[in-house]
């Protein structure tokens, strides 16, 4: 290994340690599956069964970079809740970048979870007796542009 390569490598390792110490990196996420995002405390936080009502691919510049799911929980501690999970796929999976899940409830409430994540974003809200809309966003690590998918009509009235 050349002297220059060794020096660059040491600098990169030092910068990584500094970034980690300052909290500039995303925390590791164990959610590599939809189910683990649903049951995670930083995901939907559900402990019961759930139903996938709808899912949409998120693309940007021809790249599949994510999928957004609308879920319904009719059992467990969060019965009557909808949850939106935006999972990163392809080149975006594992890359720390802007990701958001948004849930809009017809009664005026809602939830969102914007942030710099490596695997997913999830937002949950009580919605029994109401229609919902949702959206999911992922920044493409290759282009820097944001791709999204959304449902803009009130639907899935529980």
Q: Are strands 63-73 and 51-60 parallel, antiparallel or unpaired?
A: antiparallel
Same domain, 53 and 13: no
Contact 19, 58 (CB under 8 A): no
Same domain, 36 and 94: yes
What is the CATH classification number for the domain harbouring 139? Answer: 2.60.40
Same domain, 103 and 123: yes
Query: Mean pLDDT throughout 71-92?
Result: 93
Same domain, 5 and 76: no
Q: What is the pLDDT of residue 3?
A: 45
Same domain, 61 and 137: yes
Q: What is the pLDDT of residue 47?
A: 87
Q: What is the pLDDT of residue 145?
A: 97
Same domain, 14 and 51: no
pTM metric for this prediction: 0.80
Q: Model confidence over 105-126: pLDDT tens digits?
A: 999 999 999 999 999 999 999 9
C-alpha 92, offset from chain centre: 11
Q: Specify the number of domains making up the chain.
A: 2
Same domain, 7 and 35: no
Same domain, 52 and 92: yes
Element at 21 (helix H, strand E): helix 3-21
Same domain, 144 and 100: yes
Range of the domain at 138: 31-155
SS3 state of residue 126: strand
Query: Mean pLDDT throughout 57-78?
Result: 94
Q: Model confidence over 10-28: pLDDT tens digits?
A: 433 333 333 333 444 444 3
Q: What is the pLDDT of residue 8?
A: 33
Same domain, 118 and 40: yes
With 90 as the cut, is the pLDDT of residue 93 above it? yes
Distances (CA, A) of 21 to 12, 29, 39, 85, 96: 14, 18, 28, 29, 16
Same domain, 24 and 68: no
Same domain, 17 and 58: no
With 70 as the cut, is the pLDDT of residue 98 above it? yes
């Amino acid at each position: 290994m050349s002297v220059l390569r060794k020096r660059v490598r040491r600098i990169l390792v030092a910068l990584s340690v500094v970034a980690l110490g300052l909290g500039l990196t995303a925390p590791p996420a164990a959610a590599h599956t939809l189910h683990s995002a649903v049951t995670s405390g930083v995901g939907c936080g559900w402990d019961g069964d759930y139903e996938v009502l709808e899912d949409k691919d998120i693309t940007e510049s021809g790249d599949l970079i994510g999928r957004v799911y609308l879920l319904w929980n009719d059992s467990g501690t969060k019965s009557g809740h909808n949850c939106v999970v935006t999972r990163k796929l392809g080149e975006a999976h594992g890359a720390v970048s802007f990701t958001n899940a948004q849930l809009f409830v017809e009664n005026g409430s809602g939830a969102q979870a914007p942030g710099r994540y490596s695997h997913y974003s999830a937002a949950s809200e009580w919605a029994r007796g109401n229609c919902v809309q949702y959206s999911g966003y992922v920044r493409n690590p290759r282009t820097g542009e944001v791709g999204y998918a959304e449902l803009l009509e009130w639907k899935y009235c529980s």
